[in-house]
Amino acid sequence: MLERLRYPLHYQAIVRGHARNYRLDPALLAAVIYQESRFRPSVVSGAGAVGLMQLLPSTARGIATRTGGVGFRDGDLYDPELNIRYGSWYLRHLLDKYGDEQTALAAYNAGQTNVDAWLASGGGIHFAETRHYVSTIEKAKRAYRRSYRSELGLG
């Protein structure tokens, strides 16, 4: 019960649906949303990232182009369904590109350019903030898995 207070879950149907569509662990998707926005769809970061999954409008425009979206407007990122859909697509893209969850999460946080440079130099995650981000999401993922099995369709 305490874990449910610490880690709220909203938009369960959207999370479940896009996790299924993009072959994502729904607990991972919920954990990313929690870490990025605490499930608040109107959050905007200092860097200009918007909504539940904190997508930069430029990233979202690229996703819209790749997925056949037409007429994308930056304000669309405040819509939970679209934000989670685009964020899920992006997370799947990073998982496919890097082949493991920790590296994909590092790229979600620090950007693909930084992660590519770290990998090219043979090193791990260079930013303490990004190491903390990955660790925090892994912890939240375990909590969502334990606390919301049925809501996330985990059995």
Q: Name the residue ranges covered by the structural domains of the chain.
A: 2-147
CB 24 within 8 Å of CB 88: yes
pLDDT at 71: 86
| Domain 2-147, CATH | 1.10.530.10
Q: Which sign, positive or negative, has the C-alpha torsion 130, 83, 117, 47?
A: negative
Predicted confidence band of residue 56 (pLDDT cuts 50, 70, 90): very high
pLDDT at 68: 85
d(CA 119, CA 121): 5
- 102, 94, 101: which is closest to 124 by C-alpha? 102
pTM equals 0.96
Catalytic residues: 36
Answer yes or no: is pLDDT of 81 > 90: yes
